[in-house]
Chains A and B, each alone.
Chain A
């Protein structure tokens, strides 16, 4: 093809770099596919904490949200894009899995965590338990 190598980005920006999932020292990944850390926003108010994660290419069929003890893990395994008869001429992102884990605080309503994915954005809502401690009024009175 006469035009294969002339693709260029007009603005001068650094190529995108997704952060790869770190593995403990001395441990290697069994899979050849790379795993990346999704970017997240966490927002919080008195009633609940919301975790929002960017996971492009992921839908409800290839996502796992797991809560084990106090660790919440999100994992997404998007399908790779493949265009038969075409060659990839330019690349800024590598396709791969998404993985990230968070510790969940005490006082979370574990049974009512909900998760939803739309347009490649995962939203996990983690409700907080109603305050379990009750304040007891201390009166002033005569000593018995």
Chain B
């Protein structure tokens, strides 16, 4: 029996084979979706109130000095490089940790005051304090009856 290997669909295959093939494709699609390199790195969480936002990013092993932070209007960008050090006779037995350059850009729903941005890191978590620009804050207007 011959078959065309490079074709996705072969109408004469048995139902069992057909299901097995679909399963394979399905799990391949899932594992592809979960591939390490496809994850957003670093991952972040944001807390907010009327005064501004706090952004935490999981960045183990990266010092705050090694991060390039750009704030422009309501857009914040975090750029950096996570290098792994490996000496001459060392060999990798396992290599799962994210490495290399990363950049993540985030759009906030308000203008950030770039002068007041604070960046610090502790225990491998980067924290950005992003205060809302005064001019951008909503103002309460007293309503008087005429």
Contacts and interface: CB of A to CB of B under 8 A. Distances in A.
A29 interface: no
Contacts of A55: 60, 124
Contacts of A91: 45-46
A87 B124 contact: no
A87 B49 contact: yes
Contacts of B106: 7-10
Contacts of A88: 45-48
B68 interface: no
B48 A54 contact: no
Interface stretch (A13-21, A65-73, A133-141): A13-21
A58 B106 CA distance: 26
Interface stretch (B4-12, B15-23, B50-58, B112-120): B50-58
A44 B124 contact: no
Contacts of A121: 60-61, 124
Given A10-B107, A40-B97, A119-B60, A56 B89 contact: no
Given A1-B50, A11-B104, A43-B93, A92 B44 contact: yes
Contacts of B56: 81
B94 A45 contact: no
Given A1-B50, A41-B97, A56-B125, A11 B105 contact: yes
Interface residues of B, number: 50
Contacts of A59: 123
Say what secondary structure dominates the interface of chain A.
loop
A39 B98 contact: yes
A11 B106 CA distance: 8
A46 B93 CA distance: 13
A56 B39 contact: no
B86 interface: yes
Interface string B16-36: 000000000000000001101
A44 B93 contact: yes
B91 interface: yes
Interface string A42-56: 111110011010111
Contacts of A86: 47-49, 54
Contacts of A93: 43-45, 58
A85 interface: yes
Interface of A: 1-11, 13-17, 39-46, 49-50, 52, 54-59, 78, 81, 83, 85-93, 118-121
Nearest 3 A/B pairs, CB to CB = A120-B124, A16-B43, A120-B60
